[in-house]
Structure 1
Amino acid sequence: MHEEFKIFYGGTILTMDEKEKVEAVAVRGDQIIFAGSLKACEEAVSGHEVEKIDLEGRCLMPGFIDPHAHLMMLGMCHTWIDLSYPKVKSIDDIVMELSKFKDTLKDGGIIRGFGFDQRNLAEKRYPTADDLDRVTTDFPVQIMHVSGHSNVVNHYFLKQLGVDEHTGDPEGGVIGRDENGVPNGQLYDSANDFFAKNAGVVIGNNGPNIHMPDTPDNLLTLVKVGQEQCLAAGVTTINDPQVTKQELETFESSRKNGLLKMRIIMSFLSTYLDKLIDLGFRSGFGDDQLSIGSIKFYADGSLNSGTAYLSSGYSDSKRTQGYLYHSPDEFKEMFVKAHKQGFQTITHAQGDGAIQVVIDSVRESQKQLLREDIRHRIEHCGLPSKEQINDLADLKIWPVPQPQHVYQFAEGVVRAVGDHGINYSPYGWFKEKNIPIVLSSDAPVAPPNPILAVYAAVTRNTLQGNVIGAEHRISLTEALKGYTIEAAKAIHKENIIGSVEEGKLADFVVLEKDPYEVEINELKNIDVCETWISGEKVYAKEEMQEGVVSK
């Protein structure tokens, strides 16, 4: 096999390891063979034909690693109508945006929108079927909450889904109802399974169903669209935290036909736990591009949609308490089973009540079978209590929050839960106890934009221009490491990615500016110029602007 040699030089190179900065990087094929002085890199490749790549003053870093991003859901939501704030500020705006598309509908057509947030709407409430009937009563209309944890449909779609006043609430979910008990179009958490009953993946009370039925070709398109978003943001590896048969088959297919460029670590939904154990799987199966990383559990719902299990409850919802997907005993039994099989686990837990269920389950698992360095994770870990931070440290649990959620949603969370809402994603508390600092996006809940996440983590600024929880700010170095080497550790891949050092894979992002050389408020405006995976350029901003996709 012919191996190509490359040297990157002529700009700032941030390694994210103890060297911090180097002058140049030498690459052979898909691997870094030296990082240091330009002279030493030239010596490392002497005798070979070498392509020298001048960074022209730009900044090269390890490719960003997003340990919590839903790739196909990201693609799906980019093909739906954008209902995000501040584009949409009221229910009237939602109706207006959706109505633009009603004349394009044919038989079998559906109008779908994504990204509304009731706390940022003028009415400060969820839309209902009555609201969506204003769009059309002759076709189905569906809008998905920005969290992915709930949907609202019109009456036409409710009827199509077979949901009426005789339909009971599923375990781990709720059907919204009016004062007479008649369904009002709102479907929360596991009630999203109604979309998949006739065709698609039914997951029961193992999570909100984000797996909308579709054709194999359309599903491949979702990978393509989602991947384009990631590569343009410098993301070279993701941990997809909710994989079902649908995602597995589509990722495999996209890999076979050469579409897949990124590295994907798959977290299988707990629906599949017994099947995976029967087949003898555990964390680590696969290769450098596509592998099984962990089992994904859901403990509670969403802080944004008001369904997370919080001891304090909510002041802006009739459901003041939120709920759990499983009883604590059922959850613990499943968790112990995964732990004993050798799976790393990642559990969605936003409220302190749900976080406690995870803490208790980790403690019981380690009591039954001690596993060193398994790195069980809590995804989001939105509002733990101060006391629970000690447990996270003692049990070596890795929290994986999303700084952009603070940027987008913190003001609404504080209004809904009270003053302790300022401790949303409490990185400051994690630092006090030397708990790892990891950043992620939860795309499409937030865009897969590591630069914006770094800005949000360093400033704790909100979209409305305020600061929420200043004590939880982290340093620029902590934030950049949280999206590179620490993120790599969260997925047990730090031996091959996450830093620019010898022996690791040549995954890089090239930024237009060095993040250390700009004013803090300018951080979020730094552009991604190029993205490289395995020593190959997979994205270039200039070429995209000219309408040519970089090979």
Structure 2
Amino acid sequence: MSAIPELCADAIVHNGTIWCGYEEGTVEAVAIWQGKVLATGTTEQILSLKGDKTRLIDLQGRFATPGLNDAHLHLLLVGMTLGWIDASPQAAPTLEGLLDIIRDKAASTPPGAWIKARGYDQTKLDVGRHPNKSELDTAAPNNPVLLERACGHVAIFNSKAFELAGVDETTPVPEGGLIEQKDGVLTGMVAENAQNIILKTMPKPTTEEMIDAIEAAGHLLLSYGITSVMDAAVGQVAGFDEIRAYNLAKLQKRLPVRSWLVLLQDRQSMVQQCFDAGLVSGVGDDMLTIGAVKIFLDGSAGGRTAWMSKPYLGDDHTTGVQILSDTELELLVLDAHSKGYQLACHAIGDAAIGQLITAYEKALAALPDPDRRHRIEHCGFSTPEQHERMQKAGIYPCPQQVFIYDFGDAYISVLGEDRALSSYPLKTWKNLGFKPATGSDSPVSHPNPYPNIYSMLTRETGKGTVMDARERVTIEEALQVYTEYGAFSQKLESVKGKLTPGQVADIAVFSRNMLTAQPADILNDTHCVLTIRGGEVVFERH
């Protein structure tokens, strides 16, 4: 044990199994001083730091880890969609059931007001296809309807929504987007960039509504032991006002989780505005930090819009959606790189990943920075040749392992086993030294960490399909991915991710010792009982 003998701890966490990190292993107790870890060791060692005002936090034999870090989700959107219709396969496994839910909502919604639903997956619906505009029209004839696929890259709109936006069969399709027609008639499906044409007709949330959403989503995450997040597309909803909302939330002590903000670079980008204000990567403090710049290169595999080098299964011979030309992407990447930003760009298909690696390589060659840590968000279908290039350039994958659990069977259905089973190759990445983090991409997947951990341990989908058992990791490795590697992905490994002296005292306490539990028990019968952030109890399950 190492400690400063003159100091008394502000708090001592004891009487449990406390996993401090992959290399550090477990201890019996942790001393906390001024929001940070003071010392770790045996109960006897740590209780020697107890003073008259030291708070004792009794774990009652339970299991604790560093606070979990969801390294890719959409915090503001999670909060905003909490009030939307749940269209997930669990809530609405059939198309008729989904339409009934929308019909019921329409009955209590004033005419002309938006009805919003998200979470459907056409590969899991009983009909095996996307809903159609005409079906939404029947369910809600007097309201515009937005029905988002789970991935967020595809949406179905009804006629009222199209009318509001002035979209019909003659509307030009934006580059990098899709407005689907069949037999010369709109089907309702809109994907990628084209969604903005219709979404911009929705009223923007107020600053107070955004603060409410940040707070509500943050408290939800604390209930799962998640103390740190990356908001993966700040600016997507309300532009620069989102920066204001985050800072006001922090000022008002309504920011429950440590937030690393990724600035969305799109056609309505606020990156220049942030740069002019001095908001570049690393600016901020332990609670709120400007992170990276985000550019979308493609869509989602399950939605058949991730950009692949070979066609999806089926008769349409589609290879997905390429959102930007090579020249456009390379200019955007070089611009952000030259401004000092880390980049965290969305690329799922192997063609998109290859395009992004090339853009990163060119920017790093023009302005070398060996530790910029540019990230490839998702990076689902990367190849061995791409991994070699990433190693040489210092580029890191930032995946969501829960996608195996939630969408693995959908990947097989649209790509076939040869390409699908080896997707999101966690063990391979780990062995190559990439330090891959994990996240939920919520609201794409639920932020509940247990399916994420389960998929890392088993590589099993929700249906039980094994997606390449060679990519399984141990529970210690899975926890390292969820804590230490999450911090590394944000260049904050000196601040958080482990329970070692000097790191922030963020601790998640669970009902079950995950080091000895069976994967199925972690998935089905484990919950967070206590969450500590900066030495203070911020969630307690009663």
TM-score by length of 2: 0.93
2:223 matched to which residue of 1? 232
The answer to whether the Cα contact below 8 Å between 1:454 and 1:479 also exists between their aligned partners in 2 is: yes
Shift in CA distance, 220/431, structure 1 to aligned 2, threshold 3 Å: closer
Instruction: Tell me the distance in 1 between the aligned counterparts of 2:454 and 2:164.
Output: 44
The answer to whether the Cα contact below 8 Å between 2:333 and 2:363 also exists between their aligned partners in 1 is: yes
Give the C-alpha shift of residue 366 in structure 1: 1.7
Instruction: Tell me the distance in 1 between the aligned counterparts of 2:109 and 2:271.
Output: 40
**Aligned residues: percent identity?**
29
SS in structure 1 at match of 2:255:
coil
The answer to whether the Cα contact below 8 Å between 1:34 and 1:44 also exists between their aligned partners in 2 is: no
Instruction: Tell me the distance in 2 between the aligned counterparts of 1:409 and 1:520.
Output: 19
| Alignment pair present for 1:98 and 2:102 | yes
The 4+ residue runs of structure 1 with deviation greater than 4 A are none
Aligned length: 527
The answer to whether the Cα contact below 8 Å between 1:17 and 1:501 also exists between their aligned partners in 2 is: no
SS in structure 2 at match of 1:448:
coil
The answer to whether the Cα contact below 8 Å between 2:74 and 2:442 also exists between their aligned partners in 1 is: yes
2:197 matched to which residue of 1? 194
Instruction: Tell me the distance in 2 between the aligned counterparts of 1:317 and 1:389.
Output: 31
2:4 matched to which residue of 1? none
1:497 matched to which residue of 2? 496
SS in structure 1 at match of 2:461:
coil
Q: C-alpha deviations, 1:356-389, integer Å up to 9, x for none?
A: 0111112111211110211111111011123212
Q: How does 1:286-435 map to 2 (within 5 A)?
A: 286-316=284-314, 318=316, 320-418=318-416, 419-435=418-434
Shift in CA distance, 219/292, structure 1 to aligned 2, threshold 3 Å: same
Shift in CA distance, 352/253, structure 1 to aligned 2, threshold 3 Å: same
Q: Bigger CA drift: 220-229 or 380-389?
A: 220-229
SS in structure 2 at match of 1:44:
coil
Shift in CA distance, 279/5, structure 1 to aligned 2, threshold 3 Å: closer
Give the C-alpha shift of residue 48 in structure 1: 4.4
1:109 to 101, 110, 113: 113
The answer to whether the Cα contact below 8 Å between 1:398 and 1:435 also exists between their aligned partners in 2 is: yes
2:251 to 241, 249, 256: 256
1:509 matched to which residue of 2? 508
The answer to whether the Cα contact below 8 Å between 1:12 and 1:60 also exists between their aligned partners in 2 is: yes
1:268 matched to which residue of 2? 263
Q: C-alpha deviations, 1:150-186, integer Å up to 9, x for none?
A: 2111111111111112211112211111221x32211
SS in structure 1 at match of 2:227:
strand
Give the C-alpha shift of residue 497 in structure 1: 0.9
The answer to whether the Cα contact below 8 Å between 1:306 and 1:317 also exists between their aligned partners in 2 is: no
| Alignment pair present for 1:152 and 2:152 | no
1:521 matched to which residue of 2? 520
1:177 matched to which residue of 2? 181
AA partner of residue 522 (structure 2):
L
SS in structure 2 at match of 1:101:
helix
SS in structure 1 at match of 2:72:
coil
Give the C-alpha shift of residue 29 in structure 1: 2.8
| Alignment pair present for 1:223 and 2:223 | no
AA partner of residue 107 (structure 2):
D
Instruction: Tell me the distance in 2 between the aligned counterparts of 1:5 and 1:67.
Output: 29
AA partner of residue 528 (structure 2):
V
Q: C-alpha deviations, 1:208-248, integer Å up to 9, x for none?
A: xxxxx223333233223211221111110101010012422
Give the C-alpha shift of residue 505 in structure 1: 1.1
Give the C-alpha shift of residue 125 in structure 1: 1.5
Instruction: Tell me the distance in 2 between the aligned counterparts of 1:34 and 1:92.
Output: 58
Instruction: Tell me the distance in 1 between the aligned counterparts of 2:190 and 2:145.
Output: 13
1:546 matched to which residue of 2? none
SS in structure 2 at match of 1:389:
helix
Q: Bigger CA drift: 271-280 or 515-524?
A: 271-280
Q: C-alpha deviations, 1:344-363, integer Å up to 9, x for none?
A: 11010000000001111121
Shift in CA distance, 92/424, structure 1 to aligned 2, threshold 3 Å: same
Instruction: Tell me the distance in 2 between the aligned counterparts of 1:72 and 1:141.
Output: 21
Instruction: Tell me the distance in 2 between the aligned counterparts of 1:279 and 1:71.
Output: 23
AA partner of residue 142 (structure 1):
L
2:3 matched to which residue of 1? none
The answer to whether the Cα contact below 8 Å between 1:389 and 1:429 also exists between their aligned partners in 2 is: no
| Alignment pair present for 1:135 and 2:139 | yes
Q: Which runs of 5+ in 1 are unaligned?
A: 201-212, 543-551
1:80 matched to which residue of 2? 84
1:165 to 169, 177, 191: 169
1:204 matched to which residue of 2? none
Q: C-alpha deviations, 1:455-508, integer Å up to 9, x for none?
A: 111101111122112121112111100010111000011111111011111111
The answer to whether the Cα contact below 8 Å between 2:405 and 2:451 also exists between their aligned partners in 1 is: no
Shift in CA distance, 533/139, structure 1 to aligned 2, threshold 3 Å: same
AA partner of residue 339 (structure 2):
Q
Instruction: Tell me the distance in 2 between the aligned counterparts of 1:222 and 1:317.
Output: 42
TM-score by length of 1: 0.92
The answer to whether the Cα contact below 8 Å between 1:306 and 1:319 also exists between their aligned partners in 2 is: no
Instruction: Tell me the distance in 2 between the aligned counterparts of 1:477 and 1:158.
Output: 50
Give the C-alpha shift of residue 38 in structure 1: 2.1
Instruction: Tell me the distance in 2 between the aligned counterparts of 1:232 and 1:449.
Output: 9
Q: Which runs of 5+ in 2 are unaligned?
A: 1-6
1:16 matched to which residue of 2? 21
Shift in CA distance, 506/317, structure 1 to aligned 2, threshold 3 Å: farther
Instruction: Tell me the distance in 2 between the aligned counterparts of 1:149 and 1:199.
Output: 17
The answer to whether the Cα contact below 8 Å between 1:297 and 1:348 also exists between their aligned partners in 2 is: yes
Instruction: Tell me the distance in 1 between the aligned counterparts of 2:251 and 2:426.
Output: 40
AA partner of residue 466 (structure 2):
V
Shift in CA distance, 362/66, structure 1 to aligned 2, threshold 3 Å: same
2:129 matched to which residue of 1? 125
RMSD: 1.8
The answer to whether the Cα contact below 8 Å between 1:115 and 1:144 also exists between their aligned partners in 2 is: yes
